[in-house]
């Protein structure tokens, strides 16, 4: 079973006695920087020339400098820029500003796990990753609560990297909820697998296949949209609150019987065999290499996939239907 750590296990004064640089001010960056500041930590935000979020960070009372200045001033450097550009930011702004005893922090393990960033041996390397979007992390902190985090140590020359990570997690409210110890390898591989096989890839493909099956059989797209996409939220909310058990408690007996007999016909042994292949390609680095090649090659296929799906009948139907739903925040993303 996982090892869990709470407020009483973490010493906030450790991070209060360090100088922290938060590079990036997006979903995670803003939540970490503001909550650390409110926890009495000395924080500066590192942002590139022309950053869209610079004005916001300054309005919220934070000092914004360049990523290189932030890395030079600080002795704990948290990298919260988008994963595909972290290696570039590290090479250009962080590497030459690392001193003996500094700590390099991440919110996701990808760049360390696949060796895109190779820190020198004299710095601690750790991860504090909230298991929720940054806006929830910040809101929970402000309400006196927290979002559970996972924490990991990759390099530990100081011998105190995990204590430092726990202290950082306390500064963003994580230990109020609980911090689970993991490794960079476990976090990265399970995160990539979850989003590909289940949360994003698996679910999007399931919804599309169900919608196509109904519309190809002549049913109206609007009705198919409700049955295959819209109602998914109700089901997922129930699972989130109480697992499969609560979902099955709430649905009709007919739906529950259909769940048992038809679910395994949709997700078959063949599907699971494919999931294992996906996992193997994550573990051996094939996925990460292909994704970096795609990203740095100009995102050609990525944009083709995006365009094709945005023109799919599921999406054109949904855009119209959501206008009827006053309670849905239907501003286009
Ligand atoms: P976002 O895309 O929301 O934010 C990225 C930030 O980095 C923006 O403020 C952006 O500036 C800034 N930025 C871009 N380029 C540079 C640069 N060259 N130098 C400095 N800053 C730059 O990222 P996320 O918060 O989603 O992700 C950050 C990390 O957190 C990733 O490792 C991710 O995997 C991890 N994570 C994310 C979660 C999430 O919920 N989103 C959950 C857990 C972990 P600008 O404002 O100009 O765009
Ligand atoms: Mg992810
Ligand atoms: Mg129904």
Catalytic residue at 296?
no
- The pocket around ligand 1, CB under 6 angstroms, is made up of 23-29, 46-48, 51-53, 67, 80-83, 85, 89, 107-108, 129-130, 133-134
CA of 196 to the centre of ligand 2 (A): 9
And the tokens for 11?
Answer: 């010493």
CA of 253 to the centre of ligand 3 (A): 12
Within 10 angstroms of residue 78's Cβ, the number of other Cβ atoms is 28
Three-state secondary-structure class, residue 253: helix
- CB proximity list for 165: less than 8 A, separation 6 or greater: 105, 126, 127, 128, 151, 152, 153
Q: What's the longest Cα–Cα distance across the chain? A: 67
Q: Whose CA is nearest to atom 19 of ligand 1?
A: 48
Superfamily of domain 4-182: NAD(P)-binding Rossmann-like Domain (3.40.50.720)
And the tokens for 261?
Answer: 């007999």
Specify binding-site residues for substrate: 252
Give me the catalytic one of 30, 108, 135, 312: 108
Ligand 1 atom closest to 81 (CA):
7
ipTM of this complex? 0.97
Specify binding-site residues: 25-28, 51, 53, 134, 191, 195, 227, 231, 252
pLDDT, residue 333, reads 47
Q: List the chain pLDDT tens, one digit each, 333 residues.
A: 899 999 999 999 999 999 999 999 999 999 999 999 999 999 999 999 999 999 999 999 999 999 999 999 999 999 999 999 999 999 999 999 999 999 999 999 999 999 999 999 999 999 999 999 999 999 999 999 999 999 999 999 999 999 999 999 999 999 999 999 999 999 999 999 999 999 999 999 999 999 999 999 999 999 999 999 999 999 999 999 999 999 999 999 999 999 999 999 999 999 999 999 999 999 999 999 999 999 999 999 999 999 999 999 999 999 999 999 998 876 654
And the tokens for 209?
Answer: 């296949």
CA of 185 to the centre of ligand 1 (A): 21
d(CA 16, CA 40): 6
pLDDT, residue 284, reads 98
Closest among 79, 137, 141 to 109, alpha carbons compared: 79
Domain assignments of the chain as residue spans, ordered by start:
4-182, 191-324
């Amino acid at each position: 079973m996982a090892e869990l750590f709470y407020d009483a296990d973490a010493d906030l004064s450790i991070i209060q006695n360090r100088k922290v640089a938060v590079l990036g001010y997006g979903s995670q960056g803003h939540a970490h920087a503001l909550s650390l500041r409110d926890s009495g930590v000395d924080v500066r935000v590192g942002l590139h020339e022309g950053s869209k979020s610079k004005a916001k960070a300054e309005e919220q009372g934070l000092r914004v400098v360049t990523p290189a200045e932030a890395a030079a001033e600080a002795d704990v450097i948290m990298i919260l820029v988008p994963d595909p550009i972290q290696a570039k930011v590290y090479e250009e702004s962080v590497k030459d500003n690392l001193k003996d005893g500094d700590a390099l922090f991440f919110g996701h393990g990808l760049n360390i796990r696949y060796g895109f960033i190779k820190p020198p041996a004299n710095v601690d390397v750790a991860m504090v990753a909230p298991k929720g979007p940054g806006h929830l992390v910040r809101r929970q902190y402000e309400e006196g609560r927290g979002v559970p985090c996972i924490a990991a140590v990759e390099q530990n020359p100081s011998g105190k990297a995990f204590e430092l990570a726990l202290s950082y997690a306390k500064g963003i409210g994580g230990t109020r909820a609980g911090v689970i110890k993991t490794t960079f390898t476990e976090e990265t591989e399970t995160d990539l697998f979850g989003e590909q096989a289940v949360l994003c890839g698996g679910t999007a493909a399931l919804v599309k296949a169900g919608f196509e099956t109904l519309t190809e059989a002549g049913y109206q797209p609007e009705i198919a949209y409700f049955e295959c996409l819209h109602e998914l939220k109700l089901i997922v909310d129930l699972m989130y609150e109480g697992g499969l058990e609560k979902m099955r408690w709430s649905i009709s007996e007919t739906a529950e019987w259909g769940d048992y007999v038809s679910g395994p016909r949709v997700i078959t042994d063949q599907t699971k065999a494919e999931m294992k292949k996906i996992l193997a390609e994550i573990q051996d680095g094939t996925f990460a290499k292909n994704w970096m090649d795609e990203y740095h090659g100009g995102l050609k296929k990525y944009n083709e996939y995006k365009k094709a799906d945005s023109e799919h009948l599921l999406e054109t139907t949904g855009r119209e239907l959501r206008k009827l739903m006053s309670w849905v925040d239907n501003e286009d993303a």
